[in-house]
Amino acid sequence: MTLGNVEKEFTAAKYQQDELHIEQTALSKIADAVGTPAYVYSKSYLTDQYNLLSEALSSTPHQIHYSVKANSNLAILALFKSLGAGFDIVSAGELSRVLAVGGDPKSVIFSGVGKSVEEINFALKAGIGCFNVESRGELLRIMAQAELLGCVANVAIRVNPNVDAKTHPYIATGLKENKFGVTKEEAFALYLLAADNPAINLTGIDCHIGSQINEPEPLLQALTSILELRDALEKEGISLQHIDLGGGFGVRYQDETPLDINDWGASVGQILGGRDLQLRIEPGRFLTANAGVLLTRVEYLKIADEPDHKNFAVVDAAMNDLLRPSLYQAWHGVLPVDKSSNAQPLEWDIVGPICESGDFLAKQRSLALAEKDLVAVLSIGAYGSVLASNYNTRGRAPEVLVDGAEFKVVRRRETIQDQLRLELKLELDQAGH
């Protein structure tokens, strides 16, 4: 069935009679309790996605490292930890989050092109499982810091296999024009350089070619490519224990046919062909995107007064709450929370209160809307709350985790005091001194 241009089955949001629910909780009940806008996530959907991925790889020794950047709420990290996940991080801040939920530092992989000395030291002292090294300079820096601290750093080199992930250019990372990783040739040289260094323990090879990948071929090509390097290193006497394929597994937003994760898992098993290697992956979006909705309320309806003008539904969520449409022209489904409305269906641009024409959540959606109606913007569990900002001095929206007929506020709404307390109000005279 389609409604507001979107089929409902792929998302955690489902109608019971005319009321949109997450699990057994009506979204209207959450809006009454916490107000709008609010991010709402389904615990069972998150759990099911994790289990789906793990089962797809059941014939291959593997470890899932949840990519914290997709949704770093502590409750979500705690949930994935309880399911057996390790973590993929890109900053000291994300490592602090993992440690805050009692995550095992050894289960942590540290990716990213710009690790500072402070971040490297913090991660070394915490005893993280692996650094995914993205440049010669970073390798030398980690060597030096590990020597200084008298410890050994576990390292994988991130290879840029020059594979086209066929995704949005802002989220493609595996082409030679991208800033990530090093070429295979450079990686080979770096492995030789680090092989005899007592401060470095070479444990694996890493790659990550992009995000929202819906075709298996680029992922499999990348795997084959880094396996060649692994085999070449083996001949040099450098023996590695893991292959890290990164994340990037696509999901459905609109009418995409997402990657068939079971087929992909089976192909990966075949390519690895009984090698004594652990497979690591760093999924973010696949686990969280469709577990969440952004709940928002219509403030005003601006109906076109001329035939070639647009109709605008101004809602109380904005680009500071969900940046993806403005930044990537991303398409997110929009559903009315109560679909029994007798309002006349019209084509709406769903826009926020921010003073930018780029502030829109969805365009040209046919919906029956009235002022004060609640609507749910779908597929926002990944790269939704984490990309939020305080633009226009808007407080960040709360996050709610639903578990059956119950729900918990897992991040409270940010108040104006939360924002102002970080700043200094200068006391100045009339001359500005």
- Report in angstroms how near the CB of residue 50 gets to ligand LLP at its nearest: 13
Instruction: Closer to ligand LLP by CB, 103 or 283: give it.
Output: 283
Interface with ligand LLP includes 42 (CB under 6 A)?
no
Confirm or reject binding of residue 60 to ligand LLP (CB under 6 A): no
Q: x-or-dash pattern for ligand LLP, window 258-277, by CB under 6 A? A: --------------------
Q: Does 282 bind ligand LLP (CB under 6 A)?
A: yes
Nearer of residues 49 and 211 to ligand LLP, judged by Cβ: 211
Query: What amino acid is encoded at 319 in this protein?
Result: M
Size of the site for ligand LLP (CB under 6 A): 21
Identify which of residues 383 and 407 has a Cβ nearer to ligand LLP in the complex.
383
Query: Under the criterion CB under 6 A, does residue 252 sit at the interface with ligand LLP?
Result: no
C-beta of residue 26 within 8 angstroms of C-beta of residue 19:
yes
Cβ(207)–Cβ(161) under 8 Å? Answer: yes
Active-site residue, 355 included? yes
Residue at 161: amino acid letter = P
CB 199, min distance to ligand LLP, A? 24
Is residue 316 involved in binding ligand LLP (CB under 6 A)? no
Contact (CB, 8 A) for 73 and 399: yes
- Residue pair 161/229 in contact by the 8 Å Cβ criterion: no
CB contact burial 234-260 (16+ within 10 A = b; e otherwise): eeeeeebebbbbbbbbbbbbeeeebbe
Residue 348 binds ligand LLP (CB under 6 A): no
Task: With contacts defined by CB under 6 A, name the span among 136-144, 192-200, 204-212, 234-242 that binds ligand LLP.
Answer: 204-212
Q: Is 383 in the site for ligand LLP (CB under 6 A)?
A: yes
Helix (H, G, I), strand (E, B) or coil at 39: strand
Structure tokens at 232: 């070449």
**Smallest distance, Å, CB 174 to ligand LLP?**
10
How far apart, in whole angstroms, are the C-alpha atoms of residue 3 and residue 26?
18
Catalytic entry in 130, 151, 207, 355: 355
Transcribe 111-165 into DSSP letters: --TT--HHHHHHHHHHT-SEEEE-SHHHHHHHHHHHHHHT--EEEEEEB------
119 binds ligand LLP (CB under 6 A): no
Among 70, 202, 222, 367, binds ligand LLP (CB under 6 A): 70
66 belongs to the binding site for ligand LLP (CB under 6 A)? no
Cβ atoms 109, 205 nearer than 8 A: no
The answer to whether 94 contacts ligand LLP (rule: CB under 6 A) is no
Tell me if 110 contacts ligand LLP by CB under 6 A.
Answer: no
Q: Which structure tokens are listed for 217?
A: 């071929």
Report how far residue 308's alpha carbon sits from residue 303's, in angstroms, rounded to the nearest whole number: 11
Residue 285 touching ligand LLP (CB under 6 A): yes
What is the smallest separation between the CB atom of 422 and ligand LLP, expressed in angstroms? Answer: 25
Q: Is 249 in the site for ligand LLP (CB under 6 A)?
A: yes
DSSP helix/strand/coil, 308: coil
CA distance 79 to 49: 12
> CB of residue 331 vs ligand LLP: minimum separation in angstroms?
11
Core vs surface per residue 264-300: b (16+ CB within 10 A) or e: bbebbbeebeeeebbbbbbbbbbbbbbbbbbbbbbee
The answer to whether 134 contacts ligand LLP (rule: CB under 6 A) is no
Smallest gap, in angstroms, from Cβ of residue 70 to ligand LLP? Answer: 5
Q: How far is the CB of 78 from ligand LLP (least distance, A)?
A: 19
Is the Cβ–Cβ distance between 108 and 128 less than 8 Å?
Answer: yes
**Does the protein bind ligand LLP through residue 248 (CB under 6 A)?**
yes
- The residue from 25, 73, 111, 154 that contacts ligand LLP (CB under 6 A) is 111
Binder to ligand LLP among 103, 283, 292, 333 (CB under 6 A)?
Answer: 283
Instruction: By CB under 6 A, tell whether 280 contacts ligand LLP.
Output: no
Peptide bond into 345 cis (omega under 30): no
Q: What are 335's strand-pairing partners?
A: 376
**Contacting residues toward ligand LLP, per CB under 6 A:** 67, 70, 88, 111, 171, 208, 211-212, 246-249, 282-286, 324, 328, 382-383
Catalytic machinery residues = 355
